[in-house]
Amino acid sequence: MIRHLPSALSSARLAAAPALALLIVRNHWTAALACFACIAASDLLDGPLARALHVASPRGARLDIAADLGVVLCGFGAFAILSVYPWWLLLVFGAMFAQFVITSRHARRPIYDPIGKYYGAVLFAVLGVTLAVRDGGLIIALTSAVLAFTVIAIASRMFRLLRAGRRDADPALPRHHLSGYS
């Protein structure tokens, strides 16, 4: 039973995403903040718990990513309904996720990408700060920061993908940096 706890946490996070959106759209800010705190806690716990219980699996990792994407899309979607964030930001996140999936599938082996690894965490932080602070100037700053980070994350991933491709083509090149896969 306890083996399923990490997956249950990720599934609960995915299920809580529409509830978070509803709370935001209906202006229940304290409840939305509490809901978000639970979501963030589950995101922090599921990975270490899966490793501690020795049940970490590619399927669990995929569920974790899907839950994170669900929270990000629901949270920012709700803010877009309220005109807090622009709608096109959702397209940026969708494109970023698609880019991550495509480059992961087409790479011959996992790509070490330290910047892309933190992309989801940055978006979670932006959601949390928006819920807690609620200021127009801050929203502009956060939107610009997210866009800048997106560009840097894409550039970093492309650079690492090209480097990995070159390494595959030339076995004489070193591979010792390949740790902490994403």
Q: Which of 101, 135, 175, 181 binds other proteins (CB under 8 A)?
A: 135
Give me Rg for the CA atoms of the chain: 18
Structure tokens at 31: 């409840």
Q: Which stretch binds other proteins (CB under 8 A): 8-16, 59-67, 128-136, 167-175?
A: 128-136
Q: Does residue 137 interact with other proteins by CB under 8 A?
A: yes
Closer residue to other proteins (CB): 102 or 133:
133
Instruction: Collect all residues with Cβ–Cβ distance below 8 Å to 87 and sequence separation of at least 6.
Output: 80
Q: How far is CA 7 from the centre of its chain?
A: 17
Judged by CB under 8 A, the residue of 34, 52, 91, 140 near other proteins is: 140
C-alpha to C-alpha distance for 134 and 29, rounded to whole angstroms: 10
Please tell me whether residue 141 binds other proteins under the rule CB under 8 A.
yes
Q: Does 133 bind other proteins (CB under 8 A)?
A: yes
Tell which residue, 11, 6, 13, 1, has the closest CA to residue 51. Answer: 6
Q: Shortest gap between Cβ of 108 and other proteins (angstroms)?
A: 23
Rounded CA gap, 42 and 127, in Å?
15
Q: Does 34 bind other proteins (CB under 8 A)?
A: no
Q: Report the residue number, 53 or 140, with the smaller CB distance to other proteins.
A: 140
Q: Euclidean distance between the first and final Cα of the chain, in Å?
A: 28
Interface ranges with other proteins (CB under 8 A)? 27, 29, 82-84, 114-115, 133-142, 144-145, 147-149, 152, 177
